[in-house]
Structure 1
Amino acid sequence: MTSDYEFLRKLLKESSGLDLSTDKQYLVESRLMPLARRAGLPGIAELVAKIKSGSDALTSDVVEAMTTNETFFFRDKLPFDHLREELLPALVQARAGRRSLRIWSAASSTGQEPYSIAMCVKEFAALAGWRIEIIATDLSQAVLEKSRAGIFSQFEVQRGLPIQMLVKYFAQVGELWQLNADIRAMVQHRQLNLLQDFSHLGTFDVIFCRNVMIYFDQDTKAGIFDRLARVLEPDGGLALGAAESVLGISDAFKPYPDRRGLYHPNPARAARAGAASAMKAVAAR
């Protein structure tokens, strides 16, 4: 393994949490060679040298090029079924007094996930007149800008989006499709690194954190799960990707029965945390 590859592995781990194994050198070359050429550099070695010389902009471009932004509307279908059939009906009853919901799409990429959530909410008649906040966050500013625009290609809208929703919620603009303003207005976009503190976002009723944990090592996953548990309401739900699980990593969440990939905060863990806080407060007096 070359020293340049080891440098890039360390850089990506520290800046984004991406944990590249030793056999992924081909992936670095395929994604970073086009970036090197755009920067007028002949190869990866020169790219690394320029980063080492203090090019913050190039460092940011490397992280953006290496973090995967594969996504499509209603990806994996199951989490959106859980949202419609399990989470929203329960939350409509539990939040009837305040008539508001907050939903977070972490690692939201180019917007297909938060906008799929927005369309689910829009279709849910019992939520008419409620205040709905959907927060979409991603490490990459470029994908957030694309998401804000809400403009998608024919290929993108054909991936997972039911035709009736395309007709109902999109307008054709030449060969592209733009989401209607009312759906776009339901989603707020913010740049965020999941490795950093996100308590300032406030608390949520539902969190979608899908297809991002697979890139982190076990300790990083455990830390993020712990912090997610702190910003999720006790009766809220956490949706993970099809290849992800909290089991064997953290006791901060428990699986919903018969709802694969859906979790709720572990009340026993929360009770222990509360007791520990109370003991600290007593000791500090």
Structure 2
Amino acid sequence: MIPQADYEYLQRFLKTKSGLALSPDKQYLLESRLNPIAREFGLKSVGELAQFLRRPGSEKAADKVVDAMTTNESLFFRDKHPFEAFTNRMLPTLLANRPSHQPIRIWCAAASSGQEPYSLAMLLAENPALSAGRRFEIIGTDISTEIIEKAKRGIYSQFEVQRGLSVHYLVRYFSKVGDDWQVSDKIRQAVSYRKLNLLDPFVGMGQFDIVFCRNVLIYFDNDQKIDVLNRIVKLMPSDGFLVLGGAESVIGLTDKFQPDTSRCLFRPQTTATAGNRLAAAR
């Protein structure tokens, strides 16, 4: 059992470092994920690890704690609806509004081990008519250094490729590496990765036409959700698209996005739209 003072310290530590808000009943989760890290640093318990994190020179342990607690499950073509909306709604709209020389930029925030950005890259490779010869830039980010390195390698176990990936995609875009499967060079080269904490400034990210930010805001408190959403919208053109997870919404958090016609899809709120709504309410 983690001493209460140490558990409360770890709650504050994780919220500050990653935005993860742990409820008081998550001791079992901390124990299961952090005990291996405690042993790695020669410590006997998670309580001792909490004490160690308070000391100077514990940065490596701190990074491992954040990695362990924020590494989330991911799978290829997760929740098929966003990928259908990508094909049927987002791309046709953006391609109609953009000059042919302008690339379409896509950001997969909290990309975990890379299944989401690689799914998008495979969709584009599979359907050349979708891109109409346009150049695409897909960027995946995550808070975990270890998980970003895994995404860059693009190597997945048999269990991982069986989750959401059809046999057609597996045969066409993967090759066998021992007992595992690796994404083809073509697909890996279509995606770039960088480490990014969503709570930190989005320095040097540029503008994005589409932002996938799925199943991460649920771990933040409302103030953090508002802050992240209000900073994301600054990176988007007025006709861009934000994709959230099935249990997530902007409603009640910010007026800078408006729901689109598809579930989990949102658009930057334009001044004209806001004015029309205000006039209609009068």
What TM-score results when the alignment is normalised by the length of structure 1? 0.91
Partner of 1:116: 119
- Mapped to 2, the partners of 1:174 and 1:13 lie a distance apart of 39
2:26 is the counterpart of 1:57: no
Partner of 2:278: none
1:250 deviates by: 1.1
Partner of 2:206: 202
- Mapped to 2, the partners of 1:183 and 1:41 lie a distance apart of 42
- Mapped to 1, the partners of 2:266 and 2:184 lie a distance apart of 32
Asked whether the equivalents of residues 252 and 269 of structure 1 are also in contact (C-alpha less than 8 Å), the reply is no
Identity of aligned residues (%): 49
- Mapped to 2, the partners of 1:68 and 1:174 lie a distance apart of 25
Asked whether the equivalents of residues 102 and 134 of structure 1 are also in contact (C-alpha less than 8 Å), the reply is yes
1:30 deviates by: 1.4
Q: Deviations over 1:71-95 (max 9, x none)?
A: 0001111111110110011112112
2:27 is the counterpart of 1:30: no
Q: Deviations over 1:99-140 (max 9, x none)?
A: 411000000110001101111222232315322110110000
Other structure's SS at 2:182 match: strand
2:265 is the counterpart of 1:251: no
- Mapped to 2, the partners of 1:250 and 1:74 lie a distance apart of 28
2:88 is the counterpart of 1:85: yes
1:190 deviates by: 0.5
Identify the match of residue 68 of structure 1 among 46, 60, 71: 71
- Mapped to 2, the partners of 1:174 and 1:129 lie a distance apart of 35
1:271 deviates by: 7.6
* Superposition map of 1:40-55 within 5 A: 40-54=42-56, 55=58
Partner of 1:193: 197
What TM-score results when the alignment is normalised by the length of structure 2? 0.92
2:7 is the counterpart of 1:5: yes
* Superposition map of 1:123-134 within 5 A: 123-126=126-129, 127-134=131-138
Bigger drift between 235-244 and 120-129 goes to 120-129
Q: Deviations over 1:145-190 (max 9, x none)?
A: 0000111111110000111111111111221111110110010111
1:98 deviates by: 2.5
Partner of 1:233: 237
Write the letter of the residue equivalent to 1:68.
T
Q: Deviations over 1:201-257 (max 9, x none)?
A: 000010000111000000000010001111011111111011111111111111112
Q: 1:269 to 1:107 in 2, by over 3 A?
A: farther
Other structure's SS at 1:84 match: helix
Note the residue ranges of structure 2 that are not aligned, 5 or more in a row: 276-282
Identify the match of residue 183 of structure 2 among 179, 189, 207: 179
Structure 1 runs of 4+ with >4 Å offset: 269-272
1:34 deviates by: 1.7
- Mapped to 2, the partners of 1:20 and 1:269 lie a distance apart of 40
Q: Figure out how many residues of one structure are paired with residues of the other and give that number.
A: 271
Identify the match of residue 265 of structure 1 among 259, 263, 268: 268
| Pairwise CA RMSD | 1.6
Bigger drift between 236-245 and 123-132 goes to 123-132
Q: 1:53 to 1:148 in 2, by over 3 A?
A: same
Partner of 1:142: 146
Asked whether the equivalents of residues 199 and 231 of structure 1 are also in contact (C-alpha less than 8 Å), the reply is no
Other structure's SS at 2:25 match: coil
